[in-house]
Amino acid sequence: MMSRSKTRIQAYRAYALALATFAILTLILTWPLVRHVGDAIPGDSFDGWQNLWNLWWVKVALLEQHASPYFTNLLYHPTGVSLWFQTLNIFNGLTFLPVQLAGGVFWAYNAVVVFSFVIAGFGAYLLSLDVLNRLGARRPLRMHVAALVAGLIFTFSPFHFAHLLGHMQVFSFEFIPFFVLYLLKSLTIAPHTRRANRFGPSRYSLMAALFLILSALCDWYFALYLGFFAGLYVFWLVIRQRIRWAHVVQLLWMFGVTLLVVSPLLIPMVRESLRYDFMKPPPGQIVSLSGDMTGFLIPSGLHSLWGDWAAGLRAPLNASPSENTLYLGLVTAVLILGALRRWQKQVGFWLLALLTFAIFALGPELHIYGKNTGIPLPYALILKLPFVEIARTVARYDLLVMLAAGVLASAGLYAWLDRASTHRQTWALGILIASLILLDFTPAPYPISPPDTPDFYRTLAADPRGGAVMNLPMDWDRPGYLLYQTTHQKPLTAAYITRTDPRTLPGRVPVINRFRHLQEDINRVDDVAMWAPTIFEFMDIQWVVLDRYKMPPGPTRDYTEALARAIFVNQSPAYQDERLTVFETTPPTTRLPFVEIGWDFGPLQPGPMRTVEQTATIILHAPHPGTYMVTITPAETNRIPWQLEDHSGRIYLRAEDGGPRTLVANLAQTTTSWTIRAMAPGLQIQRIQLSEKDIATSSLFKTSANLQQP
């Protein structure tokens, strides 16, 4: 008993030493973050602000609004927007809420950073200990030293630091090695397993389910990756003829419990993905966000010593540096070769995992040093599975490559350590190898991003008035606006979200959509200064903020500032400095009618034109009863006669309150106008169905539309 107790104490001491090692190295390798935990975040001042906002929003939703964090009324005001496909990483928002309440959102963000690095390393260390034990290693000191190196490779990999630039949902992969550890344990049948319990879950399968759930709550990508990992391990058991029914039972418990727990979040996502397709990446994006085969060989551009040289080498690679950094490591590769030499048969699965997920990370087509060869890869078949294409950034499979590499490297290092005759030699060789790995990977000093929040937003926070802030420029969404909202706490007209939702209003409402597209849309109005007060009131916009730091000199600034001058032609700014010009909106003296373009129209094209596929919606906003005329003009290229109809062969216009219909006869001429009689103020919704004889229903129609009151 004393011997077992002593062994347990020694193990706990080793665990404590491992945790301390990962904590100290995290603070060193992320330097100078430790000096700025309360006033900056690591990264490149882009996606990091979105994830900082995510933490802040979870606090606001739960503690202030007492509402679900998966819908926000603070973005895309006044309609709000769904966050089911946002990179919300709800685990971090909930777990580090006490840190946020005690020290602020920057403390919470950086606590997530430290936690993810330390626990990811510790998890890989524990996994490696288990694998070494399965390989037959029996010398505790050498096992622990080798396992520490596995943790270093996994958690301090260039991949991890590349996503520390701002992808909190990705760098929070600390639970992945724990899932793998308990997956392996749950699929190992002990000789003493009781037959009476053969249909029940083992504690290992329940632990695997727990860590799969936690991984999914950090990033849904992880659930997909780990599902593939489990499938690969089952495949390995099958080809080795080691599969048993008990394995199937444990897998059913593992994934069944996981699905049961996450179903309240997963079901709405599935329902929304079946109804809409905005969360699916556009054609070609998955290919462009795939890894490059040479990326495994080129060091990170963040490296402390040769980062500039490596960045130059990496320049031709596709995707951004955070996505194309897949570097395996020179020392890691040498250690893997050592493992294959000593444990060739025993480590076969880990070699298979490394190669499989490396191929997955390359995506559906092979890229070699920035060139798409067009050679199809196995992931092209994976993309045919339901919902898989939503996970657009396939290069992130590299995290499983680094996990397998760490395990293999630890086996190789143990084989080398086995030659050491003393503890001192073991420590010396282990420290030397660890130092070489860290030298190969180190990014210190790591870039940090202090907030650049203008003082105006602190003044705005004290303003008791309601209404939204419309930040300009708005041609694409800048994450910095989310950072500023955590200070002023007013709603935003438009905002940076993970998947652009076409149901939001800025791209569909006149005047506002000109800021969005930097051109006129099909529902253009003749005088923006005349219509703007009505639109601003409809959108509940109180402040219009032009930020010159967000729009360097060029077409975006020229168009945006010219449009703002046209709108506020006789109005002085409410605030102005070298960076910002702020206008406050005024209520309209007369509310004017306008047309809102339905989200089911196609993208805006030069002309202006939009495509229509089968049906599209036009919404008339009528401020008072009256007669209005809407005109739809087919594009010049569309000479085929067409008509507007519903199931009865006629067009109907219906007031939203269910009032009487106004009948309009069938139309089939080139330019079509029709009269709408608004029976009451509000929305008059017209569902348009375009059809052609002998033409497939998927034909595209280019149309233009405007509104006038006769």
pLDDT at 460 over 50: yes
Q: Are residues 570 and 607 in the same domain?
A: no
Q: Are residues 368 and 493 in the same domain?
A: no
Q: Using a CB cutoff of 8 Å and minimum separation of 24, what contacts does 193-199 make? A: 193/246, 198/245, 198/246, 198/249, 199/249
Least confident of 260-274, 552-566, 637-651: 637-651
Give the single-character DSSP code of 570: T
Q: What is the per-residue pLDDT for 681?
A: 56
Determine which helix (DSSP H) or strand (DSSP E) holds 220, and give its type and residue range. helix 220-239
Q: What is the per-residue pLDDT for 680?
A: 53
Q: What is the per-residue pLDDT for 530?
A: 94
Q: Are 596 and 622 in contact (CB under 8 A)?
A: no
Q: Is residue 250 part of a domain?
A: yes
Q: Report the candidate in 246, 169, 255, 249 with the shortest Cα–Cα distance to residue 215.
A: 169
Q: What is the per-residue pLDDT for 614?
A: 60
Amino acid identity, residue 203? R
* Distance (Å, whole) CA 599 – CA 696: 22
Q: Are residues 564 and 611 in the same domain?
A: no
Q: Are 219 and 172 in contact (CB under 8 A)?
A: yes
- Cβ burial 333-359 (10 Å sphere, 16+ → b, else e): bebbebbbebbeeebebbbbbbebbbb
Q: Are residues 161 and 135 in the same domain?
A: yes
pLDDT at 663 over 60: no
Q: What is the per-residue pLDDT for 633?
A: 64
Q: What is the mean pLDDT of residues 462-475?
A: 96
Give Rg (Cα) of the chain.
Answer: 29
Q: Is residue 343 part of a domain?
A: yes
Q: Are 88 and 71 in contact (CB under 8 A)?
A: no
User: pLDDT for 251-279, tens place per residue?
Assistant: 999 999 999 999 999 999 999 998 888 88
Q: Is residue 42 part of a domain?
A: no
The total of other beta-carbon atoms located within 10 Å of residue 386's CB is: 9
Q: What is the per-residue pLDDT for 37?
A: 96
Please provide residue 653's backbone torsions phi and psi, each rounded to the nearest 5 degrees: -115, 135
Please provide residue 255's backbone torsions phi and psi, each rounded to the nearest 5 degrees: -80, -25
Q: Report the candidate in 579, 443, 473, 550 with the shortest Cα–Cα distance to residue 43.
A: 443
Q: What is the mean pLDDT of residues 483-509?
A: 94
* Distance (Å, whole) CA 329 – CA 347: 19
* Distance (Å, whole) CA 130 – CA 205: 16
Reduce the DSSP state of residue 119 to 3 states and report it: helix
Q: What is the mean pLDDT of residues 241-248?
A: 87
pLDDT at 702 over 60: no
- Alpha carbon 593 to its chain centroid, in Å, reads 38
Q: Are residues 97 and 229 in the same domain?
A: yes
Q: Are 44 and 144 in contact (CB under 8 A)?
A: no
User: pLDDT for 94-114, tens place per residue?
Assistant: 999 999 999 999 999 999 999
Give the DSSP letter string of 137-192: ---HHHHHHHHHHHHHHHHTSHHHHHHTTT-HHHH--TTHHHHHHHHHHHTS--TT
Report the DSSP pairing between strands 615-622 and 594-597: antiparallel
Reduce the DSSP state of residue 610 to 3 states and report it: strand
Mean pLDDT is highest, among 179-193, 490-504, 593-607, 667-681, for 490-504
Model pTM score: 0.90
Block residue for tokens 């906003």: 621
**3-state DSSP helix/strand/coil % of the chain, to nearest 5:** 50, 15, 35
Q: Report the candidate in 451, 490, 494 with the shortest Cα–Cα distance to residue 472.
A: 494
- Cβ burial 266-286 (10 Å sphere, 16+ → b, else e): beebeebbeebeebbbeeeeb
Q: What is the per-residue pLDDT for 292?
A: 94
Q: Are residues 278 and 381 in the same domain?
A: yes
Would you state the structure tokens that stand for residue 593, as one six-digit string? 């009618």
- Read off the pLDDT band of 632 (50, 70, 90): low
Q: Which ranges of 576-679 would DSSP assign to H, the alpha helix?
A: none
Least confident of 212-221, 455-464, 689-698: 689-698
User: pLDDT for 383-408, tens place per residue?
Assistant: 999 889 888 899 999 999 999 999 99
Q: Are residues 410 and 466 in the same domain?
A: no
Block residue for tokens 């250690």: 335
Q: Is residue 692 part of a domain?
A: yes
- Read off the pLDDT band of 343 (50, 70, 90): confident
pLDDT at 27 over 70: yes
Q: Are residues 624 and 575 in the same domain?
A: no
Q: What is the per-residue pLDDT for 610?
A: 79
**Of the residues 441, 468, 486, the one at which a domain ends:** 441
Q: What is the per-residue pLDDT for 522?
A: 84
**Of the residues 584, 618, 650, the one at which a domain ends:** 584
Which CATH number covers residue 614? 2.60.120
- Read off the pLDDT band of 672 (50, 70, 90): very low
Q: Is residue 58 part of a domain?
A: no
Q: Are residues 163 and 237 in the same domain?
A: yes
Q: Are 72 and 83 in contact (CB under 8 A)?
A: yes
* Distance (Å, whole) CA 357 – CA 148: 23
**Of the residues 409, 441, 473, the one at which a domain ends:** 441
pLDDT at 590 over 70: yes
Q: What is the per-residue pLDDT for 3?
A: 67
Q: Is residue 64 part of a domain?
A: no
Q: Which residues pair with 626 in a beta bridge?
A: 678
Q: Are residues 397 and 513 in the same domain?
A: no
Q: Are residues 262 and 117 in the same domain?
A: yes
Q: Are 599 and 276 in contact (CB under 8 A)?
A: no
Domains in the chain: how many in total?
A: 3
Q: Is residue 193 part of a domain?
A: no
- Read off the pLDDT band of 604 (50, 70, 90): confident
User: pLDDT for 298-311, tens place per residue?
Assistant: 999 999 999 999 99
pLDDT at 687 over 70: no
First to last CA, the chain: 96
pLDDT at 659 over 60: no
Determine which helix (DSSP H) or strand (DSSP E) holds 106, and give its type and residue range. helix 105-135
Q: What is the mean pLDDT of residues 356-374?
A: 95
- How much of the chain, in percent, has pLDDT values that exceed 70? 85
Q: Please report, to the nearest 10 degrees, the dihedral formed by the alpha carbons of residues 242, 246, 249, 251 taken in order.
A: -40
* Distance (Å, whole) CA 27 – CA 35: 10
Q: What is the per-residue pLDDT for 601?
A: 79
Q: Report the candidate in 382, 364, 350, 358 with the shortest Cα–Cα distance to residue 293.
A: 358
pLDDT at 699 over 50: no
Q: What is the mean pLDDT of residues 79-92?
A: 95
Report the DSSP pairing between strands 643-644 and 672-678: unpaired
Residue-range definition of the domain harbouring residue 519: 455-584
Q: What is the per-residue pLDDT for 353?
A: 97
Q: Are 426 and 413 in contact (CB under 8 A)?
A: no
Q: Is residue 118 part of a domain?
A: yes
User: pLDDT for 43-69, tens place per residue?
Assistant: 988 899 999 999 999 999 999 999 999
Q: Are residues 202 and 279 in the same domain?
A: yes
**Considering the chain, what is the average pLDDT of its residues?**
86
Q: What is the per-residue pLDDT for 627?
A: 65
Reduce the DSSP state of residue 3 to 3 states and report it: helix
- Read off the pLDDT band of 606 (50, 70, 90): confident
pLDDT at 648 over 60: no
* Distance (Å, whole) CA 232 – CA 227: 9
